[in-house]
Amino acid sequence: MKLDLLVVAAHPDDAEICVGGTLLLARDAGLATGVVDVTRGEMGTRGSREERDRETAAASAVLGLALRRNLELPDGRVEVTLAAREALARILREHRPSVVLAQHERDLHPDHAATGRLAREAWYLAGLRRMAEQDGGPAAARPRRFLSFMGHEPFEPGLVVDIGPVWERKVEAVRCYASQLAPAHAGDRGEHFLFGADILGRMETRARAWGERIGVRYGEPLLPLGPLACADPAGWLAS
């Protein structure tokens, strides 16, 4: 199945939290979207693996994803191995997305950083004909664009997507991960204590802060790898 947009993220709720709005807008516009989670998120402070799998399926339905796959790397121990990047390159050749979004390579969480590098290297390798031939699968295909999304470390984005029209549905998708949203016990601040807020509160603060940068209510920041190609300047002039 040919995809238009593929998101690569370390843990099952990362895609929803960080680019759920962009995925919804793309889906609403009729594009085929997908997510590859690199791990099952089994090291998450809260919830069992089974809970997370059910939650992931529910969130995928809200997002209207055409594909959700998992690389099955160990949570908390993601490494950029040859095997992992070739497995991801194979997925890129199979589904031929036009655009890939992945976590930024500079991130406080080692899994996020490794995922960003894994995705960028796989993106490049997916376009090598010999590598595709050796693999015996589909023909070489490199997605036309690669952009980074923001995890636990800020960067100055090249563009901010106005996700106001789909904000409530993004929140709904994230709420599917109920096990992650409630404290596991009194005093639990979990892996997110860095941010002094629960996940939904933090997500809203960020969405509003980025939205303000472009004069809208809610935004998701993205950083293109290299300059964006602009074939139709009138398009972005008018938009």
Integer CA distances (angstroms), 26 to 6, 158, 166, 196, 225, in order: 11, 19, 11, 32, 20
Q: Is 31 or 58 the residue whose CB approaches a copy of itself more closely? A: 31
- Report the SS3 class of residue 171: helix
Q: Is 135 or 172 the residue whose CB approaches a copy of itself more closely? A: 135
Integer CA distances (angstroms), 41 to 51, 157, 207, in order: 11, 27, 23
Q: Is 57 or 236 the residue whose CB approaches a copy of itself more closely? A: 236
Q: Which of 216, 101, 123, 119 is nearest to 162 (CA)?
A: 216
Minimum CB separation of residue 185 from a copy of itself in Å reads 10
Minimum CB separation of residue 232 from a copy of itself in Å reads 6
- Report the SS3 class of residue 220: strand
Minimum CB separation of residue 70 from a copy of itself in Å reads 18
Q: Is 136 or 235 the residue whose CB approaches a copy of itself more closely? A: 235
Q: Is 70 or 158 the residue whose CB approaches a copy of itself more closely? A: 158
Q: Is 57 or 184 the residue whose CB approaches a copy of itself more closely? A: 184
In 64-186, which residue ranges form alpha helices assigned H by DSSP? 82-95, 110-125, 129-135, 167-175, 178-181
Give the list of residues 6+ apart from residue 70 with CB closer than 8 angstroms, or none. 12, 36, 37, 38, 39, 40
Q: Which of 122, 138, 143, 126 is nearest to 5 (CA)?
A: 143
- Report the SS3 class of residue 68: strand
Element (H, E) at 200: helix 199-213
Minimum CB separation of residue 124 from a copy of itself in Å reads 5
Minimum CB separation of residue 123 from a copy of itself in Å reads 9
Q: Is 72 or 236 the residue whose CB approaches a copy of itself more closely? A: 236
- Other C-beta atoms closer than 10 Å to the C-beta of 196 total 10
Minimum CB separation of residue 69 from a copy of itself in Å reads 20
Minimum CB separation of residue 103 from a copy of itself in Å reads 14
